[in-house]
Amino acid sequence: MKPTVRPSFVRAWPCIASDFSTFFLRLPPPPLAHARNIAQIRHRRIHSSLSPPPPPPLLASSPPSVPPPLFLRPPKYTTTVADLLEWHSWAKSLAASVGSSFEDSDNGPDSRLLCRELNWLMEDVLDGFDPSLMHKAVARDDPDVIVSSRADVQELYRLWKQRIEERRPFQYIVGCEHWRDLILCVREGVLIPRPETEIIVDLVGDVISKDQGLREGLWADLGTGSGAIAIGIAKILGDYGSVIATDLSPVAIQVASFNVERYSLQEKIEVREGSWLDPLKGVEGKVAGLVSNPPYIPSDDIGGLQAEVGRHEPRLALDGGAEGMDDLLHLCNGAASMLKPGSFFAFEVLLFIESPPSS
Ligand SMILES: C[S@@+](CC[C@H](N)C(=O)[O-])C[C@H]1O[C@@H](n2cnc3c(N)ncnc32)[C@H](O)[C@@H]1O
């Protein structure tokens, strides 16, 4: 169990482009004459809630095919402080050797961020991580003190080599990402949720606080990935409303279901597999709110992404076709048939803002 939430902005490494925006529009009651279209640019922020409730335990019935993140594994290994410190000092020097080379080549993490990740890895791996105990053991010249851990030291060497040499994202190494007040399990094949996307849940919170119909209505998160948006919305809906979370990727469906179950939201969120609006058959014209963070990177830009993203995150989650607009346009064309009058539609998109030519 974690005592505090790590601010997700410092754990984020993406920078696939400079500006992310969320567009939302509210369909007015018919006739649909004056739909508003508002763009907002979001900067990463520190969460205000510093002491959220601890995450719920892993449920026995969770799908076994999703490997549990490190912090949920039982602390069944033991290691000496000496071995741990030896690994830590090796890992730290590997991180230091990176300097700003990743940053210079593709805006990747620099040594400082990697060292911070190393501390988070220690937090996730050690049972009741307390750096002062380690320091005391060293000060007492008692390096044989035993600590319990959730991975053996050999695995830690392997994981950190993957982080630095293969640029495997930290979130896939530890198997989770901190997002809003949630700790979401992630693995290869599922997009790591980004801080920018939190604004969609904030916008939904805003509209449901003013509109009972929206609060009690049916919501849909299309392309749910880890289930981040769907879970965020379900939590703010509280005792009202319900959510359908969909994805084309079977891995995403598994991971989203795992996360939904971990937060005991199975009664509130139905996870459905299928392409975009197809899984909403049967609820045409009944959806109160539709949200999506679809793939929106132009195909030709994928090769230039930060290595953590381009080499490791699923192309299905990134590639939005030649202009990056294929999925967005598909959703915009089809959304109206799903939404009921007075409903809400929001999606995330990438804006390229050209600077005016300098005179
Ligand atoms: C940018 S990711 C967003 C994931 C998640 N909503 C988030 O914000 O972290 C886009 C998601 O759309 C899914 N996707 C791609 N094509 C799809 C399709 N045709 N139908 C449904 N989902 C699709 C991907 O599998 C991926 O999970």
Distance 304 CA to ligand 1 centre (A): 20
pLDDT for the residue numbered 21: 62
Return the residue whose CA atom lies nearest to atom 27 of ligand 1: 225
> Which has the minimum average pLDDT: 66-75, 154-163, 242-251, 327-336?
66-75
**What is the rounded average pLDDT of the residues 302-318?**
97
* CB hemisphere CA count around 349 (13 angstroms): 21
What pLDDT shows up at residue 61? Answer: 44
Which residue of 186, 224, 233, 273 sits with most ligand 1 atoms within 8 Å of its CB, as the best mutation to test the pocket? 224
Distance CA 344, CA 289 (A): 5
| Spatial distance between the Cα atoms of 115 and 89, rounded to a whole number of angstroms | 11
pLDDT at 65: 67
Q: Which segment, 24-33, 119-128, 278-287, is predicted with the most confidence on average? A: 278-287
- Confidence label for 359 from pLDDT (cuts 50, 70 and 90): low
Contact in structure between 110 and 103 (CB atoms under 8 Å): yes
357: burial class by Cβ within 10 Å (0-12, 13-18, 19+)?
exposed
Quote the CA–CA distance of 34 and 26 in Å, as a whole number: 9
Q: How far is the CA of 11 from the centre of ligand 1 (A)?
A: 21
Q: What single letter denotes the amino acid at residue 12?
A: A
Q: Is the CB of 264 under 6 A from ligand 1?
A: no
Q: Would you say the C-alpha torsion 210, 213, 216, 219 has a positive or negative sign?
A: negative
Q: Ligand 1 within 6 A of 315 CB?
A: no
- Superfamily of segment(s) 8-44+176-351: Vaccinia Virus protein VP39 (3.40.50.150)
The b-or-e profile of 232-261 (16+ CB within 10 A means b, else e) is: bbbbbbeeebbbbbbbbbebbbbbbbbbbb
What pLDDT does residue 31 have? Answer: 30
C-alpha of residue 353 to centroid of ligand 1, in Å: 24
Q: Is the CB of 89 under 6 A from ligand 1?
A: no
Q: From atom 14 of ligand 1, which residue's Cα is the shortest distance away?
A: 223
pLDDT tens digits along 318-340: 999 999 999 999 999 999 999 99
pLDDT at residue 48 tops 90: no
pLDDT of residue 67: 79
Q: Enumerate the domain spans of the chain.
A: 8-44+176-351, 76-172
Q: Is 275 in the pocket of ligand 1 (CB under 6 A)?
A: yes
Q: Residue for token digits 């009664």? A: 267
Coil, strand or helix at 353? coil
Instruction: Look at residue 22 in the predicted model and tell me its pLDDT.
Output: 62
**Among the listed ranges 6-15, 51-60, 163-172, 258-267, which one has the minimum average pLDDT value?**
6-15
pLDDT at residue number 32: 25
**pLDDT reading at 150 higher than 90:** yes
**Whole-Å CA distances, 162 to 117, 120, 166, 173, 260:** 13, 16, 5, 8, 29
Q: What angle do CA 41, 45, 51 make, to 5 degrees?
A: 145
Give CA torsion, residues 275, 42, 8, 352, to 10 deg. Answer: 60
Q: Are 147 and 84 in contact (CB under 8 A)?
A: yes
pLDDT at res. 134: 73
DSSP, residue by residue, 216-283: TSEEEEES-TTTHHHHHHHHHHTTS-EEEEEES-HHHHHHHHHHHHHTT-TTTEEEEESSTTGGGTT-
Q: What is the pLDDT of residue 352?
A: 72
Q: Is 294 in the pocket of ligand 1 (CB under 6 A)?
A: yes
Please identify, by atom number, the ligand 1 atom nearest to the C-alpha of residue 294. Answer: 10
CA distances from 305 to 5, 45, 301 (A): 28, 23, 7
pLDDT for the residue 138: 72
Q: Which residue has the higher pLDDT, 163 or 32?
A: 163
Q: What is the chain's Cα-based Rg?
A: 22
Predicted pLDDT of residue 188 = 97
Average pLDDT over residues 19-29: 52
User: For residue range 238-293, what is the model confidence (pLDDT) as tens digits?
Assistant: 999 999 999 999 999 999 999 999 999 999 999 999 999 999 999 999 999 999 99
Chain-wide mean pLDDT for the chain? 84
Q: What is the pLDDT of residue 208?
A: 97
Distance, in Å, from the CA atom of 114 to the CA atom of 94, rounded to the nearest integer, reads 9
* Most ligand 1 atoms within 8 A of CB, residue of 191, 272, 313 to mutate: 191
